Every structure is written in structure tokens, then in C-alpha cells.
Structure 1
Amino acid sequence: MLGFFVVALDSQVVNVALPDIRSDLGGGLTGLQWIVTIYTLTFSALLLLAGTLSDRFGARRAYGAGMVLFVVASAACGLAPTLPVLIVARLIQGAGAALITPTSLALLREAYHDPTRRARAIALWAMGGSVAAAAGPVVGGALTQIDWRVIFFVNLPVGAVALLLLARVARSPRRPHAFDWGGQIAAVVALGSTTFAVIEGADRGYGDPLILGAIALALVAVLGFVQAQRRGSHPMVPPSLFAAPVVIVALVVAFVSMAAFYGVVFLQSLYFQEQRGASSLATGLLFLPMTALVAALNPLVARIAERYGRMVPIIGGQVVMAVGLVVLASLPPHAPVWLVAVFMVPVGVGGSFTVPPVTSLLLDAVPSAAAGTASGVLNTARQMGGSLGVAVFGAVLATAPVFQHGLRVDLLATAALLVITAVATVRWRV
């Protein structure tokens, strides 16, 4: 739970501090996108490898290595003298986060063999992220009033406590597992090229030769990844993992939900501060109704899933998110900021209702020996959604004639995607 907490906290506190970072280190909207996206991009690109490392070296050892890397990178972020240095440090942070997340889930899978108890444990694990989401904007806003660098130093004591507790955890089993280097390289190239094309294309123009080259490279890398998984002797993502339709549905829901949540947090942080003149602390407080309610309702999700089945919270969460996005898009440009904050609540609550049941659904659908790999695949889908959500939302914003127009296009398009995934969930009878 502490692992998921510190990873989620880092992504939340940074959004509120973006204007202050730009004032100190420079850079336009593209630079701000990279500060957020390079973390989630590295996170998503290395999650599959992290799942393999978890299975091969044991979840406990891999978790510890990831936490040490994350803490050291956090210190580097806080000390960064320039924007490029900060972006590189954020990249390393993403690598540490990639090791922490699937291994924390694998530790739960090893500790709880009963599906009901495991579902409750996963709900508590998810609560760590929910508490981080609730505290992140406010903590980030308050610390940014002192200095934006402090938002990174706060990770150090949390990481230290997690490592001390890890010493009391039983050793995890180690399973022979060969590395799929071809698949890993192809995955990194595909995600990196796609994100580069989306972010830089908004600035350079999507007809620029460099952008077209990045798109072509991404397509080739995707084909290479598929071939590596189909024909490789040790695929990073075994094709058999997708034999059950429920696995595919779970991954799509995770992707779209995170794209919506991360995209909204990125957009609304800029909206409150740059369009409505709110301070970083006031912005954090405006996020509080959404994030605090998410944390409060999180334990309820597992009980609802136990009583009514997983379909109810998964479908209901997507529909609630879609409704919230449509209402936000419909608000007039000068609506009271408190009203905007209120209508952000359905987006956060809907997202929180999907995460625990989707995670439980996937882990129950795969054998215990593949828990690390399955966790890596799930979290890859989630973080890919987050990184591409920020990239696409920012690209639309950068090319829109006015901020409000870009905001509405982003919100309505994402709401449509959520409706489609909700219908797909019903269709496949999750």
C-alpha cells in the first residue's frame, strides 16, 4: 500500500506545481507535458519488464530495488538545476515506479490465497493510491508555496518507511524466467515514439518530417512487438494471457479510465491557475472534493463487488465518469470555480470504482505463477492511458484556438470513449 501511495502521490503533487516549475526553469506547454508524461511513459514502458523481474528474482527483492531507485531519483528531481535535468530525473523516477507497482500486487497475490480476502487486500492497496490522490493536490499546493522542489523531497521519508517494513516481509519465491529483450525494446520504442509524435507534433506540426518519422517508427515497433510475442521462445507477454475475453476488457477499461483521470487532472490544474488565476494551494483545495471522496468511498467498492458482482462497479464507474466529463464540458467559461470543483467529483469517484474490481478480475483470471506478469500488463495499460491521455489532451489544447474550446473537445471525446468501453463491458459479460 505504501508503494502504491508514493507512486500515486508523485504524479498528483507535480500537476499542481507545473506553473511554478515553468516560472523557475522555463519551458512552454510542451515542457510541462514532458515533466508529467516522461514519468508515466517510462512507468508504462518498463512495467512489463518489471513483471518479469518480479517473477524471476522474487517480488520482495524487486520491490526493494524499485523503491531505492525511486527515492534516489526523487532527490535528484528536487535538486534539478534545469528543466532537462528534471525531465531526466523524472524518467528515472518512472523506472523505479515501474518496479514498485507490479511487485506490490505480486506480494499481495503471494500473501492472500483466498479470493475474497485477496479482493479486500487489493481494495486496501488501491486505497493507498486513493489517499495519495486525495492528499496530493493539497500537499503539492501547500509545499509549492514554500518551494516546488519540496514536493519531491516528501517521497524520501515515505520510501524509507516502506523499506523498513519490507524487511519484515517473507522472502518471495524465485521462478526461472528468461528475458524478452526484443519485445521490451520494441515496447519502449513504440511508446516513446508515439508520445513524442503526439506532444511535439502539436508544436512542430503533424506534417513535419520528424513527426512522420516518429509515427512510422512507432508502427514498425508495434509490429515488431507483436511478432516477438507470437514467435519468441520467451515472450514477455505470453499470447495465452489474452485467451479469456475478460482479460482484454479489463485492460481496455483500465486504459481509458486512466486516460480520463490523468487528462482531467492535467487540464484542470492549468485551467484553475492559468485561466482563473488560482494559486497552487487554492488549486489543490479545489481538487479536494474529488480526491477526498474517492479515498472515502474506496473501501466500499470491494463490498459492492462482493454483493452485486464486479460488473456493477465497473460499468457504473465508467458511466459516472462519462457523465461528469460531459457536465464539465457544458459549464460556461466563467462558471464559479467551486462549481467546477463539484462537477469534477464524478470523474474521480467513477474512476475509483473501476480500479479494484478490474484488478481483482484480472488476477483471478490468471494462474498465481503469472501474477507478476499479469500485474505488469494491467499497470502498463493504466499508465499508457495516463501518459497518452496527458499527451493527447495537451496536443488538442495546444492546437485549439482558445483554451476553453480545447478543453471541451478533450472532455467530450473522452466521455464518448468511456461510453463505448462500458457497452463493451456489458457485451462481454464481465
Structure 2
Amino acid sequence: MNVVSDRGRFDHADCIDRSGAGERAGRIDRAGRLSANLTTFAAAVASFLAGMDVLIVNVALPTIATELGGDMAVRQWVVDGYTLLFAALLLLAGSLTDRFGAKRLFLAGASLFGAASLFCSFAWSMAALVAGRCLLGVASALILPASMALINEANPNPRRRSWALALWGAGGASASAVGPLLGGLLTPIHWSLVFAINVPFCLMILAVAHWIKPSLNRAIRFDWLGQTLSLIGLTALVAGIIAVGSTGFTAPATLALLAVGLVALAAFLLSQRKVPAPMMPLNLFHVRGMQVALQIGFIMIFNWYGMVFICTMFLQNELHMGPFAAGLVFVPSAFVTIIGNLAGGQIINARGSKFSITLGLAIMIVGFLIEFLTPAPIPVWVIATGLSIVGFGAAITTPAAAGVVLKSVDPEQAGIASAMFNTFRQVGGAIGVAVFGVIATFLPNLTLALRSVFIASAILLAYVLVFELLRWRDR
């Protein structure tokens, strides 16, 4: 009896232990899912912020200039102060993410983004606003690579990772619709709100920091020489282009800035052959798929950012539309872009990347030509329709080009190749605003400037299309 009794007690205790272990495992699993979901949420919010801050300020620029002053060159810097620093620091930020851990860089970037947004909202001059926008660019560069790394760490399961990346991408895509709309809604109250609106989003990110798991860090080498030269080169080049519009091409300051920019960028390319761990491996430029993808990324965003900048000025200064009405003009293109993203994946799977890129570029060219060929004055509905057509083509082209980047290089170079693609896109945006802003200063009115943007964009895309068809034969 004692033996049976002891065995019964043992079995009962064993059941209790196993039950307790199951409960603990369940709690751990639920905690893991909660952590992964909140991490994905925070990363999607960060993607939304980085995308929205490019577009929300365009609608507010005419009102800001009325209150704080500033010519076309200063307005260009309000946009380019953000995009230039964002672009120039993306590669370094990716390395810092690996070195110090994604969570640490992500939270530091979110904190800086919130602080810089407050600084911008209290800006007392255009110079102060440009400085704040530069800080926002630094913050975005810290946030974006870290947010992708956090999604990868929090979602080891491929299916969950795909779902999480889709949400992350949706955050950036939705910013195209929400940015101009929020700018139009908030600017009539006060322009400072287009920056202050960022603060609640940053607080949401910091509020879930406790549930984001710590990230591993790795000892890696930094290419400080390359980073310094690229930052100096890009800043001086963009400043020189903007100075062409304000002081003229032959002004000593303009020539000096352009010379410094070109020399620094040449030195950067030379340094990438010499340093042991280059931030931009030059051998990737010899891969034809990379050549196609980098040109597409650069020219598409060059056209889009420059067009949005001039189009916003045209709608408010030439057509005398209010900020909210001007913001509404961009909303249809944003929703069409989301539809294009969904259709783009199916087209790639069915017909391949080259077909998708060819189709997308052709659609974008048609959109720009429709707007260029419409007799003056260009109706608002034509602008909205043209923007939607261009956005649809871009939505088909971009994921195909990103896929080409990943297919064209060895797996161990996929990270740096993707970073190069995103860097070229952001650099294209900064230079696009600078170039089209200069064109607008030399033309008699914004209607002619907008037409010039449309035809120049169509020509540049036609060049990329011909290059892709003749030089790249991959599917």
C-alpha cells in the first residue's frame, strides 16, 4: 500500500509539474507573440514617420515662407535638409545598427526624431527650421535600418516575417496619402503642427520599448573616411545646385561649392578602392542588374520629389488653392500606389522583373506626357490624374527593382546592395528638389516650371527604359 501510495503521490506531483511547465511555456509563447507584434507595430510607425516627413512639409512651405520669410533656395533647404542627411547617413546607420544593436539605435533615433520635431515646431527663423530638419534627417537615418533589423529579429518565422515586412511597407506607403492630407489639415491651424504631430508617434514607439527584445551587436569596422567624404561631397554638391538659382552659376560661392562637391565625391570613389571595409563596394556597379536598379531608384525619386515640390508651389501660389485643397490633390495617387503595390507582386510572379519594370516605366512616362501635353491652364483634375498614373507605374516598378537588387548579388552582399539602392533613391530625391527648384527660379512662372518638370521626367524615364531594354537581358 505504501508503494502504491508513493507512486500515486509521484504521479500526481509529476502531473502538476508538467501542467505548470505547460502554463509557463504558454505564458512565454504569448509574451513572445506580444513582443513580436509590438516590435512590428513600432517599426511600422517608424516607417510611416520617415515617409510622412518628406511630404507633409511641402504643403506647409508657402505658409511657412509667408511667416518666416525666405526665397526659393531656403524653401529647397527645408526639404533637402531632411532628405540629404537621411540619404547620406543611411549606410553608416546600417553599420551602427550592427555594431550597437538595432534596439539601441532605434530608440535613440525615435527620441531624436521627437526632440527635433519639437525644435522645428518652435523654429523662430528659416535657419533654425533648416537646422531642425537636418536633425530629423539624421533621426530618420537611424530609425529606418534599425526598424528593418528589429522586424527580422522579432519574427524568425518566414511567414510571420513576410507579414511583418508587409505592415512595415504599408506604413511607408500610407504616408504618401496621410502626409499631404495632414499637412493640409494642420497648416491652416498653424504650420508648426505639421512638425508637432510627429511627437505623439514617437511617444508611441518609446511606450512599447519595454517589450522590444534586446538586440545582439557585432564588432565591425567603420569606413569613417568614406562616410566623411560622401557627406561633404553630397552636401556641397546640393548646396551648389541650389546656389545656382539664388546667386547664379558663375558666382564664386556657387563654383566653389560645386568644385568641393565634385572633388569630395571623386575622393570618396577613390577611397572605396583602398579601404579594407568600404561602405559602397564598387564591384557592385559592374553588375548589370544593379546598374539598372540604381538608375531606376535614383531617377524615379529624383522626378517624384522634384515634381511634388514644384506642384505644391503651383497649386498654392499659381492656382491660389488652400493647403487642405492642395493636399487633397495628392491623395488619389497615394491610394492608387497602394493598389499598384498589391498588383506589382502578382505581375512579378507571373511575368518576371524585367516585364514589371518595363511596364511600370512605360506607365509613368504616359502619366508625365498626359500632364505635359494638356493645354494651359492645367486643370487640377488633370494633375491629380497624372499623379495617380505616375504613382501606379512607380508602385509596379519599385518592388521589381528592389527584387533585381537582391537577385543580382551574392547573398552575403544583399544587405549592402539594398542599402545602396535606398541611398541612391534618397540622394535622387535631394538632388531632384534642388534641380527643379533652380529651374523654377529661372522660368517666368510656375506653370512653365511644372511643364518643364513633366517633360524632363518623361525624358529621363525614357532613357532608363531604353537602357533597361538594351543592356539588361535578365528575366
TM bucket by the smaller chain?
A: over 0.9
- Describe how 1:44-193 pairs up with structure 2 within 5 A: 44-110=87-153, 122-165=165-208, 167-193=210-236
3-state SS of paired residue (1:237): coil
Distance 1:310 1:182, change over 3 A: same
- Describe how 1:165-314 pairs up with structure 2 within 5 A: 165=208, 167-242=210-285, 244-314=287-357
Distance 1:318 1:212, change over 3 A: same
Query: Residue by residue, what CA displacement relative to the aligned partner does 1:219-242 show, whole Å, maximum 9, x if unpaired?
Result: 211111011111012211233444
**Are the aligned partners of 1:66 and 1:96 in contact in 2 as well (CA < 8 Å)?**
yes
Post-superposition offset of 1:133: 0.4
**Partner of residue 327 from structure 1, selected from 370, 392, 401:** 370
- Describe how 1:323-402 pairs up with structure 2 within 5 A: 323-366=366-409, 370=413, 372-402=415-445
Distance 1:248 1:25, change over 3 A: same
Post-superposition offset of 1:110: 4.9
> Using the alignment, how far apart are the partners of 2:158 and 2:352 within structure 1?
13
**Are the aligned partners of 1:122 and 1:356 in contact in 2 as well (CA < 8 Å)?**
no
Post-superposition offset of 1:63: 2.1
- Write the letter of the residue equivalent to 1:219: L
**Partner of residue 6 from structure 1, selected from 23, 40, 49:** 49
> Using the alignment, how far apart are the partners of 2:344 and 2:46 within structure 1?
21
Post-superposition offset of 1:152: 0.8
Distance 1:160 1:306, change over 3 A: farther
> Using the alignment, how far apart are the partners of 1:423 and 1:81 within structure 2?
48
Query: Residue by residue, what CA displacement relative to the aligned partner does 1:149-201 show, whole Å, maximum 9, x if unpaired?
Result: 11111111212223344543444332221111111111011111111111111
Distance 1:101 1:367, change over 3 A: farther
Post-superposition offset of 1:61: 2.5
Give the fraction of aligned pairs with identical amino acids, expressed as a percent.
37
Larger Rg: 2
Distance 1:191 1:96, change over 3 A: same
- Write the letter of the residue equivalent to 2:241: V
Post-superposition offset of 1:402: 2.9
**Are the aligned partners of 2:313 and 2:446 in contact in 1 as well (CA < 8 Å)?**
no
Distance 1:106 1:389, change over 3 A: same
**Are the aligned partners of 1:109 and 1:371 in contact in 2 as well (CA < 8 Å)?**
no
> Using the alignment, how far apart are the partners of 2:60 and 2:404 within structure 1?
35
> Using the alignment, how far apart are the partners of 2:264 and 2:338 within structure 1?
38
**Are the aligned partners of 1:48 and 1:380 in contact in 2 as well (CA < 8 Å)?**
yes
Query: What is the number of equivalent residue pairs in this alignment?
Result: 430
- Write the letter of the residue equivalent to 1:361: V
Post-superposition offset of 1:339: 2.5
> Using the alignment, how far apart are the partners of 1:76 and 1:62 within structure 2?
21
> Using the alignment, how far apart are the partners of 1:396 and 1:185 within structure 2?
30
3-state SS of paired residue (1:147): coil
> Using the alignment, how far apart are the partners of 1:63 and 1:18 within structure 2?
29
1:35 corresponds to: 78
Structure 2 segments unaligned to the other structure (5+ residues): 1-43
- Write the letter of the residue equivalent to 2:119: A
> Using the alignment, how far apart are the partners of 1:314 and 1:165 within structure 2?
39
Query: Residue by residue, what CA displacement relative to the aligned partner does 1:97-135 show, whole Å, maximum 9, x if unpaired?
Result: 111222333344556678887666544432211101011
Distance 1:320 1:409, change over 3 A: same
Distance 1:351 1:96, change over 3 A: same
Structure 1 segments unaligned to the other structure (5+ residues): none
Superposition RMSD on alpha carbons, in Å?
Answer: 2.2
> Using the alignment, how far apart are the partners of 2:162 and 2:447 within structure 1?
41
> Using the alignment, how far apart are the partners of 1:325 and 1:40 within structure 2?
23
1:429 corresponds to: 473
The structure with higher relative contact order (CA 8 Å, sep 6+) is: 1
3-state SS of paired residue (1:141): helix
> Using the alignment, how far apart are the partners of 1:425 and 1:126 within structure 2?
26
**Are the aligned partners of 1:102 and 1:379 in contact in 2 as well (CA < 8 Å)?**
no
**Are the aligned partners of 1:55 and 1:174 in contact in 2 as well (CA < 8 Å)?**
yes
**Are the aligned partners of 2:72 and 2:441 in contact in 1 as well (CA < 8 Å)?**
yes
